Amino acid sequence: METADLRLARDDDVAAASWIKPRLDGSFGAVTRHVPVGYAAYVRICHPVDDETGRQVTWSAVAAATGRRAHPTMQWRALAGAARWAGSDPWCGELAPPELARLCGILAQHTAVPGSCFFCLWDGWGWLPRTVPAQVHHGDRDYVLLTGPLHAALQLGDRPRPDWFLPQSPNLFWPADRAWCVATEIDFDSTLVGGTAELAHHLLNDPGLDAWPVDPDDSLAADADRLNPLD
């Protein structure tokens, strides 16, 4: 992989990411263990799933089909139920390209510098060559730091040959003015956004995103669903 393939520049000035680690706080699974504290509002975007016919559906639709309750901190294992859901599971660690594109389109309207953003990509993805060492270290994760325009988030991924592209959403990204921050933890089946109340309102009312309001201390751990029991 060459950085030119990504249309992004590798950024060796880790100071651009130094503001994040001191603002990560909370117990295991907490929202602000993955996106920085201090934002006015936080939103969870559930990664899409397909039903047994291949039609994309929301987690609310899954809850209706399995007799469970949809709510902001619902967890997939409890929602789907043992042998209750015949469709696909959500992707972990990655927001699908259509939803990522929609998210970026909204994010661009809520920063003064959409052309100047930073992207952290987990260094454990198998397609990353070992010649691209990590520069940013947050908790148990190491990341490669890249910089470029916001729309370049859609150009991250593996290019095993010129006519074949396997997209990968960034695991952490933010604009230079820090107006918002987005995190897709590799073990989570949802993406977290911290930003203004206006941004949250925009996300929560977009019909193309399965978005839910969450609080900084809300847990997204696998066993955190208090309304739907695990089978």
pLDDT one-digit tens code per residue, 106-138: 999 999 999 999 999 999 998 887 777 888 988
Instruction: Return d(Cα 7, Cα 158) in angstroms, integer.
Output: 13
CB-count exposure of residue 227 (10 Å: 0-12, 13-18, 19+): middle
pLDDT confidence of residue 133: 80
Instruction: Return d(Cα 79, Cα 95) in angstroms, integer.
Output: 19
Q: Yes or no: say if 155 and 7 are a contact pair by the CB < 8 Å rule.
A: yes
pLDDT confidence of residue 164: 87
Label residue 9 by pLDDT band (50, 70, 90).
Answer: confident
Instruction: Return d(Cα 205, Cα 202) in angstroms, integer.
Output: 5
Q: Flag whether pLDDT at 82 surpasses 90.
A: no
Tell me phi and psi for residue 79, to 5 degrees: -70, -45
Instruction: Return d(Cα 125, Cα 186) in angstroms, integer.
Output: 10
The owner of tokens 């993955």 is 34
How many helices and strands, by DSSP H and E, does the chain display?
A: 5, 13
DSSP lists the bridge partners of residue 90 as none
**H, E, C per residue of 105-172:** HHHHHHCCCCCCEEEEEECCCCCCCCCCCCCEEECCEEEEEEEECHHHHHHCEEEEECCEEEECCCCE
Give the max Cα distance, the chain.
50
Q: Which sign does the torsion angle of CA 148, 153, 155, 159 carry?
A: positive
Instruction: Return d(Cα 28, Cα 221) in angstroms, integer.
Output: 7
The owner of tokens 């900084």 is 216
Residue type, 148: G
Label residue 195 by pLDDT band (50, 70, 90).
Answer: very high
Q: Yes or no: say if 128 and 144 are a contact pair by the CB < 8 Å rule.
A: yes
The whole-model pTM stands at 0.93
Q: Flag whether pLDDT at 6 surpasses 70.
A: no
Give the orientation angle of helix 197-204 with respect to helix 97-107, to 10 degrees: 140
Tokens of 134: 């990590």
Instruction: Return d(Cα 162, Cα 178) in angstroms, integer.
Output: 34
